[in-house]
C-alpha cells in the first residue's frame, strides 16, 4: 500500500499521528472490502480556495467543499488494478477545521471521517440514493468505530 501525500496548503499543520491514523483508515477500508494492499492512493491537502477551483472545474459547483474523490475503479475506465492507483482524494483542511468546530468534535476525527468517506467513493460506493447513503454511512461508522476514532 502506497499513499502519495501532497500537502499543498500552509494554513494547518498535519501531525505524524494524524498521518498514521489516515494510513490505518485506508488499510482498514481495503481490508473491509476484501482488497489486498497492492494499491496506491493519492491524498492531497489543500485550502478552501484550491478546492473551490477543483469543485468548479470537475463538478461545475463554484464553492468550497470538504472533500473531492476521483476514483479510477469505475466502469468508465476498463483498467487492470494490479498494483495500480485507486484514485485521488483531495481534502480542504480549512473546511475540515470549520466542520470540526461546527459538529463539535476534533479536527483529527473530521479529517479521518473525510478520508474514510472518500475511500468508499474510490471503492465504488456513492450516496446518490437513501439506500446507498445508509450503506455508505454504516461502512464509515464501522471503520471509524473499529479504529476507535470517535466524535469526542
Query: Average pLDDT in the 141-151 region?
Result: 94
Range of the domain at 82: 2-146
What pTM does this model have? 0.92
Asked whether residue 151 is assigned to any structural domain, the reply reads no
- Establish if 122 belongs to a structural domain: yes
Residue 10 binned pLDDT confidence (cut-offs 50, 70, 90): very high
Do 120 and 136 meet the contact criterion of CB atoms below 8 Å apart?
yes
Residue 1 confidence (pLDDT): 86
Q: Is residue 117 part of a domain?
A: yes
**Is a pLDDT exceeding 70 seen at residue 61?**
yes
What are the binding residues?
117, 121, 127
- CATH code of the domain covering residue 103: 3.40.390.30
The CA distance from 11 to 16, in Å, is 16
Q: Annotated binding site for Zn(2+), which residues?
A: 117, 121, 127
Q: Write the pLDDT tens digit of every residue in 102-129.
A: 999 999 999 999 999 999 999 999 999 9
Q: Is 86 in contact with 39 (CB distance < 8 Å)? A: yes
Domain-embedded: residue 107: yes
| Residue 152 domain-assigned (yes or no) | no
Amino acid at each position: 500500500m502506497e499513499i502519495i501525500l501532497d500537502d499543498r496548503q500552509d494554513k494547518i499543520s498535519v501531525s505524524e499521528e494524524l498521518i498514521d491514523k489516515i494510513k490505518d483508515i485506508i488499510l482498514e477500508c481495503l481490508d473491509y472490502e476484501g482488497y489486498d494492499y497492492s494499491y496506491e492512493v493519492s491524498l492531497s491537502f489543500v485550502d478552501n480556495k484550491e478546492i473551490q477551483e477543483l469543485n468548479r472545474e470537475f463538478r461545475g459547483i463554484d464553492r468550497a467543499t470538504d472533500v473531492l474523490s476521483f476514483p479510477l475503479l469505475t466502469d468508465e475506465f476498463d483498467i487492470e488494478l494490479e498494483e495500480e492507483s485507486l484514485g485521488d482524494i483531495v481534502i480542504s483542511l480549512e473546511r475540515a477545521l470549520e466542520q470540526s468546530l461546527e459538529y463539535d468534535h476534533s479536527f483529527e476525527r473530521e479529517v479521518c471521517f473525510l478520508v474514510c468517506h472518500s475511500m468508499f467513493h474510490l471503492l465504488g460506493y456513492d450516496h446518490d440514493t437513501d439506500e446507498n447513503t445508509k450503506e455508505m454511512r454504516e461502512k464509515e461508522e464501522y471503520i471509524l468505530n473499529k479504529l476507535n476514532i470517535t466524535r469526542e
